[in-house]
Chain A
């Protein structure tokens, strides 16, 4: 996909997929697709692992001995002056981690004991400890991270990517969403197209029921009969195309054919029982289950088939209380599969062209929370924290085995090499061969961008 953006292609990108002229029609019917990069991409695919609710960076990646030392002491005033918190107030006490951290791999990345498998791939990943965002509550922060705007109505990262690059696959959508647990607070907004045409929306593949909504033929209709109906539809649409000459009809004809192909390709893709026992064990995946492990394995299968953007959402990371019990359980859910995903992509030669991102919508406070939203006492937890948190990236043009950015001694603020969520998105688009300032869509009188009017590429993390 090294085709650079020609004038006509950029024209196409800018205009958001408008009706193709007659010249493009034959291409279209033949199903030819072409990418429209601004320059040579480093990654062809993205697998984005989003932990809904925001994991505690301080208990997983960002070890702060000073915080541990001063655990339960009153927080110094200068740290909290002018800060906003979602829930905590009054007397604020520091909360050090209760987990052991150790250095791993050649790179010596510090990782919590809760992530033993992840520790094993430390040399493949780039840990960014200086991410920060603008929003302090879940739904706005999820929207801000994924769409660049905290109040909804804008396209998500995946929609922008498919809008910019199109698809590599004739039989599958280019933007697929997999959920373990309920969706984030922002609902389907997180994978919607906003104002882009609905062709760019994320398509949710489901672990139970129909793998894609409305994929299965109605009960009682044989495959043969369905084909016969489709042939009649095609014949009538073709007659109308000849009579009216509207290329929109030609497009419709080809979309019915793609829908037909999806009916075979999607169920095949979702059937992980075709995988070897050792692969299933590596991920901890179980055919028929609905789990993050299964979804990681599916993500690899999707990428293998040329799907451009795979978005996983895993729920229940919002640990205001009961942190110890709940974080342990969540870390156990994701540690093995996410490490397996990196190893598996690597052994299949896919990691170089696949960008993997892991993170949440914000981080958690270095301050203890002991009451919930109604003022009731709970077992210890942490509140929302937007000013500094950790994510990691791997593969697709990312420099492995490095840690980028630093927080202060308390993990409160960024101390070095800050990375805003707009910078992260600019960098992701850059790795895919797109200039975030040029990937625009004109809507309601304005050229919109994923990164709004901000965004700097983080060159230091690029391989």
Chain B
């Protein structure tokens, strides 16, 4: 709601001031020299220039010299605005003053103003030998000296020494350690995304107080890091970056299969795959020598990009937009840099040119087009074709092989078996203009909006045969309302075939009709007459496949090249049209060819064969979208003003110039991927450890986790950042090694209560532990775990937990019924919940989950009334509360009431309740007489949805 009790979101601003003040305090200390007028080139370069660069160059730099003022050149020093004191005046004005500067970005802090004043008052000298300093983030991280601290007892490891040194400098004290129960809950949520069980808490408390707390803590850190719940917890964070979703996005928001990539991420995290390998496989696994299926599947990372296949879209425009998204995402994830400005012009303050941008773009410009026109002459015929990879498991492969053998054998002994092969349409047209897709089994699936009436025109080439009749199947299909076979409503997916004309050159005439079923008054024999009023329909047997077999008066000798054409009239109205159909030419006596039953033991060889083939189709292996390189690379050019319709000069693939030497190797994604994790790139390790730090502490050492550029925030603890980055690189890029170091620190183990007065509201200096709300998936997982409902099953197709009716409204594309997953599937973890970009799962949206139309580096953390309504009333949480209530009664019915309440409280928040808290629960139970009331209250506590 717009009511201002809003919190969460972007904390950058408040941080900035604290950070600036703190950063500059040190700087000021050594800048006394100013007053004496003896400013050296070094002082200018290190103190004055960075302030000007960050605050002013965006508008008064090379790109844009507003009011003819450039502050990035020596001439600035003699400019009127500096001489007259105007600049000094304006940087000190209140922010809402019309003349206040800078107009964009943060105001200057007092120490920054002091630096500028000192510079101007000492004569505003721009030393001729000044060399602009390289921005800190573009200098390779080196192992820093670990500081010594006055207090030597508090630090548990080197992380703490960096933190404590700063606290001591600020004359602040770290907080005491949190209680064991709180500690274990924090660790469990940070490693597994789930609360610890009561038994785990009790076991840890015992070890903590008994066998030595350091060893105990270390053991539990190892134990939780090794838990298979680690993958799903940390995958959530990575899947936001990968903008992973289960649908295309845009108007034709059809579902697609990339879930194998999601599983790849979970497995890689659980297996402790080194981050350099993790990077290379996702960016370019397909290009590795002898790439394994898993390495190919990993490239799903860049196939999660949304695809616009709205009718009327230009496929090339769609493709270019996807490539641009891949460049921007790569920049955000590995370089911590917003590159997109350089799509249209050289970056205004960060050192990235358009040349750099299109050099990166060239790496991504050579994969297959994923949407194409099915008919090049028809602009509206764009379809998603994807770039799928077939994932045949060993088991499936064996089954498939056995079936193929059986089929081959049967076909060998049944020469007429080809008679049952469905015809592949050369032409299929719905006269209403309905869209359609030819499926691998040669059936035609109608998609898009169903028209009231329709006529299908079908044409297919025949093989030479003696044709006895034709078989037309109206197939059930998941995408049709009520499973079809008609296209009307889910309640009545009937179809009414009013007339059927067939011809091979000349009109065919049929003597007899057989059908799976005929509706009263609409018998299949009606297809044999010429009466336009009579028809065949299948009420009430909806939701299943139907068929009609028409027997020719006498067999027709078909010669090579002959074409069968059909016209199926369906003008009953009310969308009673066939949703998916398949046509087969028959060459055996028709009664022998009827697809009565799926009986592999049928006496009729044709039926046996049909049943086997059906099994084979059902076995069809799942696919996942991957990157596939073209044999012949495309030529990449710059685009004038970023407009793809205005190509400019050609560009070669290359890495940004600011990083010095170019990536070595062939100009392809693999070279880029290897460069991303090479010594030459100063950013990847820093950006990565910083994001992990932010996940754990609520904000990064660089609080702008997405921006390590000149306008990003400087790190609060620069040496610590480099220490962790170097640690990552020197320890085989092992994520768990870095996390272990963090979790074992005393910094992490501090209590999170907020002191009064609170000198550091954003906890930049970490004089206390982290405390913040769980993310959307975490809140659901946590509630299901507390309730005892959670399933920890890993992998596979996305799941569909209950959601309110009418969320998946069809707009373009296919109509999907939202069938709630059955059994344990609906209780699986949040990362497995299906994400349809046009209609994301609403209860997660309420907790700041993203529809993932683009890479999300940092989610907001808001606090709203809709969150209250969701936790109180969403049927998922209502069910969790009921199960939680039952669980307590089941597990503790023999205990006194107070102990039952105590257990319930511990299940929810791990720690023991205070007397007051117990009293509140006791009287709630007394007043309402229901465990459900107690369970609901506990699931709605701020503490329950918060990492303590």
Judge whether A166 is part of the interface by a CB distance below 8 angstroms.
yes
Q: How far is the CA of A321 from the CA of B449 in the complex (A)?
A: 14
B938: nearest residue on chain A (CB-CB)?
A236
Query: Are A259 and B872 neighbours in the complex by a CB distance under 8 Å?
Result: yes
Contact indicator A443/B848 (Cβ below 8 Å): no
| A244 to B7 alpha-carbon distance, docked (Å) | 17
**When chains A and B are docked, how far (Å) is the Cα of A215 from the Cα of B11?**
30
> Complex Cα distance A225/B432, Å?
56
Interface pair A218/B10, CB less than 8 Å apart: no
Q: Which residues of A contact B13 (CB under 8 A)?
A: 11, 14-15, 18, 442
A359 within 8 A of B: no
Stretch of A106-114, A199-207, A331-339 contacting B (4+ beta carbons < 8 Å): A199-207
A139/B869 in contact, CB under 8 A:
no
**Interface 9-mer from A93-101, A246-254, A267-275, A278-286:** A246-254
Selected interface stretch from B18-26, B147-155, B612-620, B752-760 = B752-760
Contact assessment for A139 and B308 in the assembled complex, using a CB-CB cutoff below 8 Å: yes
Measured between beta carbons, the chain B residues less than 8 angstroms from A88 are 379
- Contact indicator B2/A165 (Cβ below 8 Å): yes
A463 within 8 Å of B (CB atoms): no
Q: Which residues of B contact A395 (CB under 8 A)?
A: none
Interface 9-residue window, one of B221-229, B247-255, B269-277, B407-415: B247-255
The B826-885 residues at the A interface (CB cut-off 8 A) are: 837-840, 842-843, 845-848, 850-851, 853-854, 856-858, 860-870, 872-875, 878
Give residues of chain A (143-190) contacting chain B, Cβ–Cβ below 8 Å: 151-153, 162, 165-167, 169-170, 172-175, 182-189
Please pick, from A5, A212, A239, the residue contacting B920 in the complex, using a CB distance under 8 A: A239
Is A44 interfacial (CB 8 A cutoff)?
no
- Which one, A6, A152, A175, A188, contacts B2 given CB within 8 A? A175
Is the CB–CB distance between B848 and A197 below 8 Å?
yes
Q: Is B463 an interface residue (CB 8 A)?
A: no
B-contact bits for A12-24, CB 8 A (1 contact / 0 none): 0011111111100
A89 contacts across to B, CB distance below 8 A: 377, 379
On whether the beta carbons of B310 and A139 are closer than 8 Å, the reply is yes
Taking a contact as CB atoms under 8 Å apart, the answer to whether A197 and B862 are in contact is: yes
Q: Which of B31-39, B802-810, B888-896 contacts A (4 or more CB under 8 A)?
A: B802-810
Task: Report chain A residues within 8 Å CB of B5.
Answer: 20, 28-29, 31, 251, 254-255, 258
> Are B11 and A199 in contact, with the CB atoms below 8 A?
no
**CA A376 to CA B457, docked complex, whole Å:** 12
Most chain B beta carbons < 10 A, residue from A27, A32, A321, A373: A373
Task: Tell me the minimal C-beta distance from B291 to chain A in angstroms.
Answer: 30
- Residues of B within 8 Å of A21, CB to CB, are 761
Contact A31 B3 (CB under 8 A): yes
Contact of B14 among A18, A86, A236 (CB under 8 A): A18
Kindly specify which of A344-352, A404-412, A444-452 makes contact with the partner chain: A444-452
Q: Report yes or no: A376 in contact with B433, Cβ–Cβ below 8 A.
A: yes
Which residues of chain A have C-beta atoms less than 8 A from B251's C-beta? 137-139, 184-186
Q: Does B555 contact A (CB under 8 A)?
A: no
Query: Is B306 a contact of A17 with CB atoms below 8 Å?
Result: no
Instruction: Please give, as numbers and ranges, the residues of chain B lying within 8 Å of A308 by CB-CB distance.
Output: 2
A217 at the interface (CB under 8 A from B): yes
Chain A nearest Cβ from B178, distance in angstroms:
11
Residues of A contacting B249 in the complex (Cβ-Cβ under 8 angstroms)? 152
Contact of A196 among B308, B332, B860 (CB under 8 A): B860
Query: Whole-angstrom distance from the CB of B690 to the nearest CB of chain A?
Result: 13
A125-133, A227-235, A293-301 - interface stretch: A227-235
Q: Does A237 contact B (CB under 8 A)?
A: yes
Are the CB atoms of B839 and A374 closer together than 8 Å?
Answer: no
Contact of A86 among B2, B250, B311, B923 (CB under 8 A): B311
Q: Decide yes or no: A209 and B2 within 8 Å by CB, A183-B809, A255-B863, A444-B857 being known contacts.
A: no
| Shortest CB distance A148–B (Å) | 14
Contacts A18-B13, A186-B251 hold; do A216 and B942 have CB atoms under 8 A apart? no
Task: Let me know if B3 and A167 touch, CB within 8 A.
Answer: yes
Among B250, B711, B946, residue most surrounded by chain A Cβ atoms (within 10 Å): B250
Q: Give the distance to chain A from B875, nearest Cβ to Cβ, in Å.
A: 8
Contacts of B850 in A (CB 8 A): 153
Given known pairs A11-B95, A199-B2, A229-B936, the reply for A245 and B753 (CB within 8 Å) is: yes
Chain A contacts of B706 at CB under 8 A?
443-445
A21–B924 alpha-carbon span in the complex (Å): 32
Rounded to whole angstroms, the CA-CA distance of A225 and B921 in the bound complex is 14
Check A34 for interface membership: any CB of B closer than 8 A.
yes
Check B133 for interface membership: any CB of A closer than 8 A.
no
Interface band, chain A: 35 or more
Tell whether, in the assembled complex, residue B430 and residue A376 are in contact, meaning their CB atoms are under 8 Å apart: yes
Residues of B within 8 A of A162 (CB): 2
Which chain B residues border A85 with CB–CB below 8 Å?
Answer: 379
Closest residue of chain B to A237 (Cβ to Cβ) is B942
**CB-nearest residue of chain B relative to A187?**
B838
| Residues of chain B contacted by A87 (CB below 8 angstroms) | 311-312, 379-380
Tell yes or no: B290 within 8 A of A by CB. no
Decide if B94 touches A185 in the complex (CB within 8 Å): no
A411 to B: closest C-beta gap in Å = 20
User: How far is A11 from B857 in the complex, measured between Cα atoms in Å?
Assistant: 23
Bound-state CA distance A166–B711 (Å) is 28
Contacts of A153 in B (CB 8 A): 850-851, 853-854
Partner of A137, one of B310, B381, B930: B310
B310 and A185 within 8 A (CB): yes
Q: Which residues of chain B come closer than 8 Å to A76, judged between CB atoms?
A: none
Enumerate chain B residues within 8 angstroms of A197, measured Cβ to Cβ. Answer: 6, 8-10, 848, 860-862
- Decide: A244 and B753 in contact? CB cutoff 8 A: yes
CB distance from B414 to the nearest CB of A (A): 39
Minimum CB–CB distance from B170 to chain A (whole Å) comes to 19
Nearest-CB distance from A49 to chain B (Å)? 19
Known A186-B250, A374-B380; contact A16-B9, beta-carbon cutoff 8 A: yes
CA distance A287 to B659 in the complex (A): 66
Indicate with 1 or 0, residue by residue over B100-113, a CB within 8 angstroms of chain A CB atoms. Answer: 00001100000000
Determine if A229 and B928 form an interchain contact, defined as CB atoms under 8 angstroms apart: yes
Bound: A247/B2 CA distance, A: 18
Given contacts A4-B96, A86-B380, A225-B933, contact A174 B3 (CB under 8 A): yes
Q: Please give the distance in Å from B918's CB to the nearest CB on chain A.
A: 10
B131 to chain A, nearest CB (A): 25
B8 in complex: contacting residue of A17, A139, A235, A236, CB < 8 Å: A17
- Closest residue of A by beta carbon distance from B341: A446
- Which residues of B sit under 8 angstroms from A140, Cβ to Cβ? 250, 308, 310, 313
What is the CB-to-nearest-CB distance from A348 to chain B, in angstroms, rounded to a whole number?
Answer: 23
Q: Is B811 an interface residue (CB 8 A)?
A: yes
Query: What B residues does A32 contact at CB under 8 A?
Result: 4
| Residues 402 to 459 of chain A near chain B (Cβ within 8 Å) | 440-447
Give the nearest-CB partner of B3 in chain A.
A167
* B378 interfacial contact with A, CB 8 Å: yes
Q: How far is the CA of A162 from the CA of B1 in the complex (A)?
A: 8
Residues in A with CB closer than 8 Å to B924 are: 228-229, 232
Instruction: Pull 5 A–B residue pairs with CB atoms less than 8 Å apart, ordered by A.
Output: A152-B249, A198-B846, A213-B869, A218-B878, A240-B943
Extra contacts, 7 of them, besides A151-B325, A167-B1 (Cβ < 8 A), are A18-B7, A152-B837, A173-B1, A185-B250, A185-B253, A373-B435, A376-B432
- The residues of A with any CB-CB pair to B shorter than 8 Å are 4-7, 10-11, 14-22, 27-29, 31-34, 84-89, 136-140, 151-153, 162, 165-167, 169-170, 172-175, 182-189, 192-193, 195-201, 203, 206, 208-210, 212-218, 225-226, 228-229, 232-233, 235-237, 239-240, 243-249, 251-256, 258-260, 262-263, 308, 321, 372-376, 378, 384, 440-447
Interface positions of B (Cβ within 8 A of A): 1-14, 94-96, 104-105, 249-253, 306, 308, 310-314, 321, 325, 332, 337-338, 340-341, 375, 377-381, 429-435, 704, 706-707, 709, 711-712, 752-756, 758, 761, 771-773, 804-806, 809-812, 837-840, 842-843, 845-848, 850-851, 853-854, 856-858, 860-870, 872-875, 878, 914, 916-917, 920-921, 923-924, 927-928, 930, 933, 936-937, 940-943, 946
Per CB-CB distance, the 9 closest pairs between chain A and chain B, nearest first, are A373-B380, A185-B251, A187-B838, A174-B2, A86-B312, A445-B707, A152-B853, A167-B2, A15-B13
